[in-house]
Amino acid sequence: MKLGLFAINYGTCADPEAAIAVARHAEDVGFESVWAGEHVVLPTGANLPFEPRLPFLDTTVALTLVAAHTTTLKVGSGIIVLPLRNPIVLAKELASIDVISGGRLIVGVAAGYVRQEFAACGVPLGERQARTDEYLRAMRALWSEEQPEFAGRFVSFAGIEAYPRPVQRPAPHVVVGGEGPLALTRAATMANGWYGFSLDLAETRELVGRLRRIEREGGRPVELGPVEVTITPSGPLDRRRVDEYEALGVDRLVLLPQPDADRADRHRPVPLDKILRNLDHAAGEVLR
């Protein structure tokens, strides 16, 4: 079981020094990866788990920061709200992170869901699924094709070059987040992996079963290999529960800074020393 840590760019880790300290400690105790969440803006007065003034460092900036201060730790976006981004610019930013990190980037993307966030960015919410699929294909073309070309509804290009290319060839590992049918289909047919957030064992069993059915029936490209499953588990974690997630086909658990927090408190800042102790405890419980 691979072990990751979520929230490397917000809450406590919106402080750059705290983010560096957490990332280095995670690397030291054997974590495989750290992950950034994303909201470009947060609406006031909405019923969301995030406080509207919760600081989020930009995903690409935060991953560059922690990559520059670690040597083996993978850095993942969990997730980038892809329809809100210019895919050509984002492909350049992510390729640059992969170069800076020596090939340690995991690209996590999803379609997003916050209406006010889409409105503020001038992107129609109803186009989010189509844009996600198209942008993902466009970025892969920029990363992998000798002479990148793409013609789509929202983005088209030809006669251009985009260097440096990512260290990972033909492209960085791509993970798709989301639990709806379109997200599961996207993960099963277009990506290297799927990320399910805050799922208990029953939810994981049901969604992984659906994912595997789509993988079998949807014509998954052979070059993508099996779908890698990443889960942020819901509730406290011990060795028995880790074994149960593993038995369901989970390859990676990405923990919250305070894994035993109630759902209402899971995004509140946690004191830095407590995060470091939680890392020690998780490493001892899961990686022993």
Question: What domain range includes position 188?
Answer: 2-286
Per the listing, tokens 């990363």 go with 143
Residues in CB range of 224: below 8 A, 6 or more apart: 190, 191, 192
Is pTM, for the whole model, over 0.85? yes
The predicted structure's pLDDT at residue 79: 95
Q: Is the Cβ–Cβ distance between 50 and 39 less than 8 Å? A: yes
Rounded CA separation 91/141 (Å): 10
3-state DSSP call for residue 19? helix
pLDDT in tens, 261-286: 555 555 667 899 999 999 999 999 88
Provide the 8-state DSSP code for 10: B
Q: Is the Cβ–Cβ distance between 188 and 214 less than 8 Å? A: yes
* Residue of 187, 178, 254 lying closest to 226 (CA atoms): 187
| CATH number, residue 42 | 3.20.20.30
3-state DSSP call for residue 212? helix
The predicted structure's pLDDT at residue 258: 84
The predicted structure's pLDDT at residue 45: 82
Task: Write the single-letter amino acid at 282.
Answer: A
Provide the 8-state DSSP code for 227: P
The predicted structure's pLDDT at residue 110: 98
Output the six-digit token pair for 31. 């974590």
Report, as ranges of residue numbers, the positions in the chain whose pLDDT lies below 50.
none
The predicted structure's pLDDT at residue 49: 81
The predicted structure's pLDDT at residue 259: 75
The predicted structure's pLDDT at residue 228: 97
Rounded CA separation 183/214 (Å): 11
Rounded CA separation 76/54 (Å): 20
Rounded CA separation 25/12 (Å): 15
Instruction: Count the domains in the chain.
Output: 1
The predicted structure's pLDDT at residue 56: 94
